[in-house]
Amino acid sequence: GENVEQHPSTLSVQEGDSAVIKCTYSDSASNYFPWYKQELGKRPQLIIDIRSNVGEKKDQRIAVTLNKTAKHFSLHITETQPEDSAVYFCAASIGYNQGGKLIFGQGTELSVKP
Amino acid sequence: GAVVSQHPSWVICKSGTSVKIECRSLDFQATTMFWYRQFPKQSLMLMATSNEGSKATYEQGVEKDKFLINHASLTLSTLTVTSAHPEDSSFYICSASGTYNSPLHFGNGTRLTVT
């Protein structure tokens, strides 16, 4: 089955710096890769997603890149702010429908120091 | 946007009792819903896929007789933790997608504590 590896497990940056989180997946059939932000005790919130027919997607300070050949994708947050502090999860969708079951990475605890 | 409601948000029960958790899609129909479990400081682990009108599909290692899933309508799926034990204490989260091309939306989650 699908396996998603996420690194690093913790990341600490200074406010204003950039943060990068990387994920690799195992199932070449996966074609949908969302990123979720989860604050303590709350539900995961979708922050950005990318499909396999696109190599990069950007939304203000957040961007995601995808390398299908290498089966890895990354989250980039620029100009980080203290409110970006949370746990971030990458995920990959098995199969070909965007609403399919997601397999999550282990999570990255991001801490942005003011 | 799509809203998924989960109830209760937290529950404390005694060991050996059963607990039912409801997951509702409020403004869309969901033929498929997913149940995840999350232990403290860990990732979301998929437990099962709930299919409207048919049996749920369980992930490897998840006991189907312990975690009963019922998806009786296009807007409601329930997870019943039977004969709960302290090791079942966790954060249970459901998710649903309205259409083929819409992303998954998560419920608020249910924090279960078994004493």
Closest partner CB to A43 (pick from B45, B98, B107): B107
Residue B44 near residue B59, CB atoms below 8 Å: no
CA distance B42 to chain A (A): 7
- pLDDT, position A36: 95
Query: How do residues B21-41 score in pLDDT, each as one tens digit?
Result: 999 998 888 878 999 999 999
Q: Given the structure tokens 């949370």, which residue do they identify?
A: A86
CA–CA separation, A81 and A111 (whole Å): 9
Q: Please state the rounded mean pLDDT for residues B69-89.
A: 93
User: Rounded mean pLDDT of chain A?
Assistant: 92
Give the span between the Cα atoms of B40 and B113, in whole angstroms. Answer: 12
Stretch 18-77 of chain A: residues touching chain B, C-beta under 8 Å: 34, 41-46, 49
Rg over alpha carbons for chain B, rounded to the nearest Å, is: 13
| Distance between CA atoms of residues B4 and A91, nearest Å | 19
